[in-house]
Amino acid sequence: MSAYNLASLAFLLFALAAAGFLTCGSLVRMLMFLELMLNAANIALVALNPLPASQAYAVMIFAIAAAEAGVGLAILITLSANFKTLQAGNIKELKG
Amino acid sequence: MIAAAVYFFGAVAALATLLMLFQREPVKAAMLMLTALLATAGIYLALSAQLLAALQIILYAGAIMTLFIVALTVLPQAWRDHPEKKPFLKVLGLAAAAIILTELVKVSAVLKTVLRSTDFSETGALALAQQLFGRFAFQFELLSLVILASIVAAVALAAKRRPA
């Protein structure tokens, strides 16, 4: 098993999640695909380097992902209260 | 054997993500995401990163998935999220993903010569803790600030505005 194969696996997962992020219109789903993209980056980090340092980075990315999910969902709650929709295409107005 | 396990779990994760793309029910999409996250934990196990596998299950499959399910429950708009059937858009998205994948694989062609040793050395909790509290102690402490900021932001965003 070469590092190339492992990297390709992580890239495949990242590309599929990116496809989902680009095509789905719902904001909740976009956040889900965003988490999966972070997850794929984490796989690449762990798979490409056997040293404990890379796993330490992966643990830090876990924390970042959790923080990101929390803030993202809070933003979604605010958006749904203000716009009554969670479709990205329907949110067109800015408040200036 | 280890390679077979990595490829199996990778295939499960990829399949779950692909099915998630075409799933119209939001809760079923969340369950497919859970499958992908658990398969990732399997990859970590196969790569001898046991602590990371446990953290993946606890943090991603536990905490973050719960957050998504709660969000789907409390947001009535999320239930009405049935995307219109636009197969053209999906094909376009998959084509974009294929381009991203080709580019990434092409760039990483230098890795072909690098062999990932198959005798994976186990990284225990002690080795990880020595990194997190030794070499990366400053970054680790900064992370707690990031999480504190995200808590404050989440509360400030989601709390109901009281009239002054």
What are the tens digits of pLDDT across the range A76-92? 888 888 888 888 888 88
Structure tokens at A67: 């923080």
CA pair distance A86, B2, nearest whole angstrom: 42
Measured between beta carbons, the chain A residues lying within 8 angstroms of B21 are 16, 19-20, 23-24
Q: What is the separation of C-alpha B26 from the centre of its chain, rounded to a whole number of angstroms?
A: 17
Rounded to 5°, angle at Cα B75 from B62 and B34: 25
Confidence of residue A96 (pLDDT cuts 50, 70, 90): low
What is the pTM (predicted TM-score) of this model? 0.89
C-beta atoms of B56 and A68 within 8 A: no
Measure CA of the first residue to CA of the last residue in chain B; give whole Å: 65
pLDDT of residue B83: 61
* Residue of chain B minimizing CA distance to A41: B40
What interface predicted TM-score (ipTM) does this complex get? Answer: 0.90
Structure tokens at B62: 């536990």
C-beta atoms of B77 and A80 within 8 A: yes
Residues of chain B with pLDDT under 70: 80-85, 115-121, 161-164
pLDDT of residue A37: 94
Q: Looking at the complex, does the CB of residue B148 fall below 8 Å from at least one CB of chain A? A: no
Locate all alpha helices (DSSP H) within B23-136, ordered by sequence: 26-46, 50-55, 65-74, 76-79, 87-107, 125-130
- CB-nearest to A28 from B20, B26, B47 is B26
C-beta atoms of A46 and B44 within 8 A: yes
CA pair distance B97, B94, nearest whole angstrom: 5
Q: What is residue B119's DSSP assignment?
A: S
pLDDT of residue B3: 84
pLDDT digits (tens, 9 = 90+) for A30-54: 999 999 999 999 999 988 887 888 8
